[in-house]
Amino acid sequence: MIDSMKKEKIRGAALKRRILDALPVKTSVLIPAAVLALFSSCTGFFSTSLASWAQRDPASLVPAVTAGNVNSLIDKAAGDPSLSLAILNRIREPAAAALGGEKAVLQAAALRAAVNAAAPARAVLNHIDEDTEVDSGNAAGLFNLIIGDLKNLPQTAWALRGILPAVFLPGNSEFDTFLAVSDPYYLAMSAAVLFADDAARSGNSASYVSGYASPGASPLAEALAQAAMDKGGDTLGVMGDFFGNLNLVK
């Protein structure tokens, strides 16, 4: 029993470190001047006028997205959920037109942009710490608390569904190529975002989450969660426990 508790604590601490490492240095409460400084190396990304920046729609600040620049843009938008959502939306068109490895890079990048836009890492840390043990008794309740703290949830989930492979089954070449270049952390967090959106749209998120059984009404969330578990295993910490106890994975 002691060994089991110690193992769970280590796994929880590992997840917390991964979440903290993935969280942007800049937070959403920083003043716009700091945002401008952060983006100063990205020509044309922002106006140099603070007043002008404040009046602009984030979507107008995002340049054309390519497989070559998408991850740099996502890095620079870290900590700004609105700008991250704008980048996610801009990925959709080039991803639809791309083929093969380039398409997979854009799809994998969409996971990163979605995680920045919905901020599930911060939502998890609001309710989970390294001492939290997620089990069948508390998983649904904790996940519903997390749903309430997500940002841009419907917009992020809608955009993500429009970018990721339409056929998300192992053996499908597009899906397999996408998974090969995707990080299990971002697969897991995106699965959580999609599952949270399905729950919220059901009209009764508490019932949806607590009564979920795979295969269910969240097939894309299931596919990403299973892929994250297959690639990441124990490195996912309590996120893996969420997936297992919420019946998202086998």
pLDDT of residue 250: 83
pLDDT of residue 3: 54
pLDDT of residue 29: 30
pLDDT of residue 42: 43
Q: Provide the residue-wise pLDDT of the chain in tens; the chain has 250 residues.
A: 445 555 555 555 555 555 544 444 333 333 233 333 333 344 344 434 333 444 467 777 789 999 999 999 999 999 999 999 999 999 999 999 999 999 999 999 999 999 999 999 999 999 988 788 899 999 999 999 999 999 999 999 999 999 999 999 889 999 999 999 999 999 999 999 999 999 999 999 999 999 999 899 999 999 999 999 999 988 888 899 999 999 999 8
Beta carbons of 238 and 11 less than 8 angstroms apart: yes
Residue among 21, 12, 16 nearest 234 (CA): 12
CA distances from 112 to 48, 67, 180, 186 (A): 27, 13, 15, 6
Beta carbons of 65 and 90 less than 8 angstroms apart: yes
pLDDT of residue 54: 40
